[in-house]
Structure 1
């Protein structure tokens, strides 16, 4: 039976760059998740009888909201729901399912790299028919609807047996519970030279992949161990857990330090990688070297032709504004387009759909290509392995030869997490007020060439996205960028991005933080971070 339930609006359901993220107790309030899901459906047209993909990263509350979403989809007129077995579906795999099966869209339940558990983070986002995150016009409409909503529709029905592959009915709507790994693994075999990677591994090349007790585990286990022949145990923490086993499922040098330290041991693995909560981020390390996400994008772009899917070349490269300009130098040499977008994968969607870009990347450990419309952590790992197999070189050799050819961009991100929201907003407001006066000013050996509040003019649809971060560019090519992140669930996260280009190969082995020390001092000088936030050091440095 379909019921219409009266409700009242919540005032905090504005989607961020990756949907709505809150603590579990917030989502567990009566009507909270239902209100948001109904606001999504009320903001869409033409889905009657169509297919909706649903899945999540397995975190706490995932199964509960999946059952709710299924029953609401049936009550609102969808013809079919496809849901991953156990409620599991990585974000890139969800994008692939939407595209492959021509679904109307998808609901992905995840808070990405944020912690999971009864008092930790949860999230809901809607992906459109191209497989990518909903564009701003839809997320804005969802928020506006959430402020007015007075009812939602839901079925009184038994829960779907999520652990059993098969087809079930909820009212007149079909629900297909499918193997979440099979279609994704098949796609990866189409994109990469698995035979070459198998040969590399058979020759003694050792891999350590940390799935961080999150959603990528089953995918990595099937592909890296079962299909590519890596030794059992190469994929660690591969069982998705509701609290990620107590891990903070963010693949960086802080939260994946055990993996990093293991690879750096003299007798450690040759290659290390990690992915995050929902499988869309990656970290790459090799003997003697950690590969920054900005460098990774540039190196993957320069070598993508070594993989079967990209042997015909790239249409263009897109990067988020805070990501270093290393990829731009590759695009220039290849004679292809280079695009600078706001943070948020949805901004890459138009470029990919229009054929203007093939590879995209963000400094927050996310890279991907036109095979889906999300960043894809395991895809990046497999492209790295394909390149290593084709070149017959180590990670260190690939990276240092890239620097020798294109120059090295020293780059770091300093995160100040969970600071007072008012203090963070005040800091950014004061920076914006100073922008007009900064060009021509000097600080030690730095001279400001340009300062602005980044605005993006979409070359495909002409839309404009303003206030995307404060950029301060110096005459020597260095940059400092300030931005507030939209991925947290409490307080605000101030991110400071520091970048210095060094073309001289004799200076490519310097310490990153030491090389950037002048920019770090400038950032504190111009923004007064310590005074305004009470923090004398970043929470995380990557």
Structure 2
């Protein structure tokens, strides 16, 4: 089929540097003439030759349903057709969760994927949009590829677009745009089938059938996992429709912030605590994050969540019974709870920078099976993205397993049992969002000077004696790459830690993240409130960072 291809003159835009999860900006920035086209062209030109390049490529395309998705889908079609891409596999209405895209890339042996999401950031015409590229292993593009994308955006002078009809993504089946084949699929079915190959659905159903009064509430936060949650909990597991809330994807997420934490998922938290639910869970806008809570205000920190999943994996989850657990990994700011599980089970464990792509190399080398980030991301080597619904199913599997041994065990009971085996890592994160960038940079520069001078080493602050300080650097054991400047660490003699880092997931301004962690092996303290237990260390963190002075913020935007 002959297709007219047009070369369009353009010029670079500043700031098209992908962060830890692609390019995220306000919708209005993406709507500028040529802005989106420039970035898509840069992605197509950066597909590594080792993975076949753009010509003849098969790409999976999916997004979280946020505002401006429809327009960008058509841009991808036009530029892909002009670039010689062979096939696009696209979710119905363009909607596929990030974990499901990763699975589809691997299942279909695709060249890669283009994900249209700003993850947990708000959506709508005045909020955020995002684009990122995933590789043939299903994981986010590594730094050498994102750096290549950025270099192209700095010098781009033209892009090529094909004159093809508008594609109807509401219709399942195959369409053509010139020589480009577009397969529109149900983005939910393949993913649910994958979950069935990982978890024992019959054992979970038996648990629910034996515990008719056990109440579950899943919050899709009007993001992409709403249909996944409905299919899973209502249609597959047979729970009542009252077990799911906000399960319809909306372009603006219903005006809410689709970030599953105690602040932004407060509707879920209130319902679980006030309406007698035993288990509550939420996922974010694109489905890669999760939050787990139990009745009576039982909150599972993401750091504890991945540790508990690792502890029970080979007993409660068939996938790990069959394949084993090769190793564990966590992001640097995440608490040391996972390390304690690794040591007790004799497993190799890794501390990597923030960003899921760092886990991918370890997984591909079969040195990591379960991993997590304190930023509500948990996953395993079944795909190469964090996976919110997988983590929720892991917890339901653990609840079913534990209740077989100890009927009536709650989320709170599971937490306390874990602490009695390993001790408790009290952990919290303070987020200061959209702060003035220079003040944040100056704060980090001052802390870097303290590292270089070593003047705090050996000194005590609020009863905590500084053992060491650094700006975390990671040497990848698989490919030898080095990632420097990944976050300021202040480590005390009693293993307590303070971490300060600037986030790469915001769309404007700077986000300062302050992490505090304190370990306790005293059972009398395990039931203490987190903020109460950490208050002395939080005071030290604020004193040493001088955060209020540099940012002007007296209170964080979010505490988790």
- Of residues 393, 400, 403 in structure 1, which corresponds to 2:419? 403
| Cα distance, 1:71 vs structure 2 | 1.6
Q: Which residue of 2 aligns with 1:299?
A: 308
Q: Which residue of 1 aligns with 2:512?
A: 494
Q: Which residue of 1 aligns with 2:378?
A: 367
| Cα distance, 1:233 vs structure 2 | 2.4
1:183 and 1:368 map into 2 onto residues whose CA distance is: 18
Q: Which residue of 2 aligns with 1:468?
A: 486
2:77 and 2:192 map into 1 onto residues whose CA distance is: 26
Which secondary structure state, in structure 2, belongs to the residue aligned with residue 195 of structure 1? helix
Which secondary structure state, in structure 2, belongs to the residue aligned with residue 250 of structure 1? coil
Deviation string for 1:244-302 (max 9, x for gaps)?
Answer: 0111000000011121122123x421100000000000000012310000000100000
Mapping 1:320-359, distance limit 5 Å: 320-359=331-370
- Of residues 72, 94, 102 in structure 1, which corresponds to 2:101? 94
1:141 and 1:113 map into 2 onto residues whose CA distance is: 26
2:65 and 2:97 map into 1 onto residues whose CA distance is: 9
Contact 2:462 2:537 (8 Å CA) reproduced: no
Q: Which residue of 1 aligns with 2:321?
A: 311
Which secondary structure state, in structure 2, belongs to the residue aligned with residue 315 of structure 1? coil
Q: Which residue of 2 aligns with 1:430?
A: 446
Deviation string for 1:293-350 (max 9, x for gaps)?
Answer: 0000100000111110011431111100000000000000110111000000011010
| Cα distance, 1:524 vs structure 2 | 1.4
Q: CA RMSD in A?
A: 0.8
| Cα distance, 1:437 vs structure 2 | 2.1
Deviation string for 1:211-266 (max 9, x for gaps)?
Answer: 0000000111101110011111211111100000111000000011121122123x
- Of residues 505, 512, 517 in structure 1, which corresponds to 2:523? 505
1:65 and 1:534 map into 2 onto residues whose CA distance is: 38
- Of residues 5, 11, 21 in structure 1, which corresponds to 2:8? 5
Q: Which residue of 1 aligns with 2:87?
A: 80
TM-score normalized by the length of structure 1: 0.99
| Cα distance, 1:10 vs structure 2 | 0.6
Q: Structure 1 residue 282 and structure 2 residue 293: aligned? A: no
Which secondary structure state, in structure 2, belongs to the residue aligned with residue 348 of structure 1? helix
Deviation string for 1:176-209 (max 9, x for gaps)?
Answer: 0000001000000000010111122222221100
Mapping 1:88-487, distance limit 5 Å: 88-202=95-209, 203-204=211-212, 205-265=214-274, 267-288=275-296, 289-305=298-314, 306-312=316-322, 313-392=324-403, 393-435=409-451, 436-487=454-505
Q: Which residue of 2 aligns with 1:56?
A: 63
| Cα distance, 1:537 vs structure 2 | 1.1
| Cα distance, 1:173 vs structure 2 | 1.0
Deviation string for 1:371-417 (max 9, x for gaps)?
Answer: 10000000000010011111103211111100000000100000111
| Cα distance, 1:444 vs structure 2 | 2.2
1:207 and 1:510 map into 2 onto residues whose CA distance is: 26
TM-score normalized by the length of structure 2: 0.96
Moved over 4 A (4+): none
1:73 and 1:118 map into 2 onto residues whose CA distance is: 26
1:176 and 1:65 map into 2 onto residues whose CA distance is: 17
Q: Which residue of 2 aligns with 1:19?
A: 22
User: How many residue pairs end up in the alignment?
Assistant: 541
Q: Which residue of 1 aligns with 2:406?
A: none
1:484 and 1:304 map into 2 onto residues whose CA distance is: 33
2:191 and 2:6 map into 1 onto residues whose CA distance is: 36
1:445 and 1:325 map into 2 onto residues whose CA distance is: 21
Contact 2:471 2:488 (8 Å CA) reproduced: yes
Deviation string for 1:506-534 (max 9, x for gaps)?
Answer: 11111211211111111111111111111
2:81 and 2:269 map into 1 onto residues whose CA distance is: 46
Contact 2:416 2:527 (8 Å CA) reproduced: no
1:42 and 1:50 map into 2 onto residues whose CA distance is: 12
